Structure 1
Amino acid sequence: MRRLTQEKVLVTAEELWRMPTSGRRYELVRGELVEMTPVGPRHGRIAVRIARRLDEFVDAHGLGYTMVETGFRLEHQPDTVRAPDVSYLSKERMPPEDHEGYVSGAPDLDVEIISPGERDADVQSKVMDYLAHGTRLVWVVRPHQRTVTVYRADGTARLLRETDTLEGENVLPGFTLPLTDLFS
């Protein structure tokens, strides 16, 4: 007797790029589409606050680019494309203005703002993907707990509470953001 099995159809980064959006957002994880849930107002406000403060600092110092929900192609065959809530990419690593498609490689800084329904295992998977592919600093923001966990490329991590200050460390030296400003 022959057994019939259904094979997974893997999607490439190029196919994802050309897909009609129909109002939905996706990431691609090892060839499989993962639909991203729309975010709520708290999440959106925090993303704007971080992006605005980062962008002001990055522009003032001519360091590179602050981006929101930009796709980064981390792996090939099967492809992985992740889209951080907010990211920073140094100008040396930025593709040309006329580049089509996703940014090849990982951002220097990844900011993930966690929604209430997100599973910790999925968050950790994202953090590990970014760090494994060259991200030097990851900020995981938990609005409901009013905390930020800072993950570094050297494998260390630190939990910051509302009374602490977020720093750009060696990725954005001199950048600071008091968490009271972020969560107010």
Structure 2
Amino acid sequence: MAVLNRLLTAEDLLRMPQESIRSDLTRGELIRMTPAGARHGQIAGNFLIKLGAYVAGKRMGRVFAAETGFILSRDPDTVRGPDVAFVSRERIPPEGVPEGFWPMAPDLAIEVVSPGDTAAEVETKACDYLDAGTRLVWVVNPKTQRVTEYRSLSDIRMLTVNDTLDGADVIPGFSLPLKELFE
């Protein structure tokens, strides 16, 4: 019996039964992700609380958790669920937040590096977000207590625990000392 291997679409992924294991779709291939550890969750939670409170207080848009899928490309499809994401008010359609995946990239994507992630995997994710139109990507490494900030493929900086994240033109006025993030 022949088994046909075909690339999956965002719609295929959305129709799959919800499982306890998160999945991304990378160029049509299903990538299952193991649950992250407690430290990973703590850092993502710190971002959700601090960024969420700031964005809500300023009515700037919406902040989303890791379960939220963003369609970054089509044919073949790539759907990613960053650990934390921000979509500006101006980009939210009049009918509101979609029921399914966002049909676009977030303005800000935050990825917290998991123990099993390779440097190549993390860099690929950052590039996918930027290629799809994400304006700012923060890749957080809990082990080294550093954040790699991507504004474009040619504008990348490394921040240490003594630095402060700045939302700049993506989230004006938002800043977060990395010491607070890693506490």
Partner of 2:52: 55
Post-superposition offset of 1:51 = 1.0
* Identity among equivalent pairs (%): 48
Partner SS for 1:45: helix
1:90-129 paired onto structure 2 within 5 Å: 90-95=88-93, 96-97=95-96, 99-129=98-128
Aligned amino acid, residue 84 of structure 2: V
1:39 to 19, 36, 39: 36
CA deviations on 1:131-180 (whole Å, 9 max, x unpaired) are 01110000000000000011003630111101111110110111111111
Distance change in 2, residues 1:98/1:151 (3 Å): closer
Q: Distance in 2 between matches of 1:177 and 1:98?
A: 26
Q: Distance in 2 between matches of 1:43 and 1:22?
A: 20
The alignment yields a C-alpha RMSD, in angstroms, of 1.6
Post-superposition offset of 1:98 = 6.6
Normalised by the size of structure 2, how large is the TM-score? Answer: 0.93
Q: Distance in 2 between matches of 1:72 and 1:85?
A: 12
CA deviations on 1:78-103 (whole Å, 9 max, x unpaired) are 11101000000011212434733200
Distance change in 2, residues 1:123/1:136 (3 Å): same
Q: Distance in 1 between matches of 2:150 and 2:15?
A: 33
Partner of 2:82: 84
Q: Distance in 1 between matches of 2:85 and 2:34?
A: 19
Q: Distance in 2 between matches of 1:147 and 1:162?
A: 6
Structure 1 residues without counterparts, runs of 5 or longer: none
Partner SS for 2:20: coil
Q: Distance in 1 between matches of 2:4 and 2:124?
A: 24
Q: Does 1:164 align with 2:153?
A: no
Q: Distance in 1 between matches of 2:10 and 2:153?
A: 29
Structure 2 contact 109–137 (Cα < 8 Å) conserved: yes
1:118-157 paired onto structure 2 within 5 Å: 118-153=117-152, 155-157=154-156
Normalised by the size of structure 1, how large is the TM-score? Answer: 0.93
Which of the two has higher C-alpha Rg?
Answer: 1
Q: Distance in 1 between matches of 2:110 and 2:136?
A: 9
Q: Distance in 2 between matches of 1:35 and 1:150?
A: 25
Identify the range of structure 1 (95-104 vs 151-160) with the bigger mean alpha-carbon deviation.
Answer: 95-104
Post-superposition offset of 1:6 = 6.5
Partner SS for 2:158: strand
Structure 2 residues without counterparts, runs of 5 or longer: none
Q: Distance in 2 between matches of 1:55 and 1:130?
A: 20
Q: Distance in 2 between matches of 1:169 and 1:91?
A: 16
